[in-house]
Amino acid sequence: MFGKSVLINRPRAELYAAWTPERFPEFMENVVAVDDVGDDVSQWTIKAPAGREVTLVNRITERVEDTSIYWQSTPASDIANSGEVRFTDAPAGRGTYVSLILAYDPPAGKVGRLAAKLLQREPEVQARRDLHRFKQLMETGEVTTNASPSARGAESPAEPHI
């Protein structure tokens, strides 16, 4: 089990409303797709180490309006997991703390955890990155990526005019 938090300069209700499974592929790097299968259950397709994909089937177990969302995997999930996301007002109207707490049981136990770490797919690192991308999306309307070319890289030296 681990947790990560980020301060986002947006109201709590706005962030809570934006934290929906349908939007996860926008800011969660390893989430390929999320499908709503009904009754507060969603099926996630996730990039895994070695070019594989895994399926998570999660049920929302509790919602506290504008405050928190809790979930638990179902037996159909490839990886047992559970977690919660909390939205807490920052002091002096400075925005909202978004805290993500996750627990998971990796396939192949310690070996699976090591493989994920070596291939930079470790859930703790991903959670931090995904929260940062959620912050970018909510504060600027877009998520920047390292794959985007730099505007400066497109510059070429000015040619002399004769």
Query: Tell me, what CATH number does 92's domain have?
Result: 3.30.530.20
Please report the pLDDT score of residue 143 as a whole number.
Answer: 93
Q: Which residue has the higher pLDDT, 9 or 50?
A: 9
Nearest one of 20, 59, 67 to 40, comparing CA atoms: 59
Could you tell me the residue range of the domain that residue 37 belongs to? 2-142
> pTM value?
0.80
pLDDT band at 68 (very low <50, low <70, confident <90, very high): very high
Q: Has residue 124 been placed in a domain?
A: yes
Q: Which residue has the higher pLDDT, 107 or 60?
A: 60
The answer to whether 71 and 60 are in contact (CB under 8 A) is: yes
**Distance in angstroms (rounded) separating the CA atoms of residues 21 and 102:** 16
Q: Has residue 46 been placed in a domain?
A: yes
Q: Has residue 38 been placed in a domain?
A: yes
Q: What would you report as the CA-atom Rg of the chain, rounded to the nearest whole angstrom?
A: 19
Task: Encode pLDDT of 12-42 as tens digits.
Answer: 999 999 999 999 999 999 899 999 999 999 9
Please report the pLDDT score of residue 153 as a whole number.
Answer: 45
Q: Has residue 161 been placed in a domain?
A: no
Q: Has residue 159 been placed in a domain?
A: no
Q: Has residue 42 been placed in a domain?
A: yes
Q: Quote the number of domains for the chain.
A: 1
Q: Has residue 78 been placed in a domain?
A: yes
Task: Encode pLDDT of 75-128 as tens digits.
Answer: 999 888 999 999 999 999 999 999 999 988 766 554 454 444 444 456 677 889
Task: Encode pLDDT of 131-156 as tens digits.
Answer: 999 999 999 999 987 654 444 444 44
Q: Has residue 151 been placed in a domain?
A: no
Please report the pLDDT score of residue 40 as a whole number.
Answer: 96
- Over residues 2-12, the mean pLDDT reads 95
Please, which residues bridge with residue 34 across strands? 44
The answer to whether 126 and 30 are in contact (CB under 8 A) is: yes
Please report the pLDDT score of residue 115 as a whole number.
Answer: 43
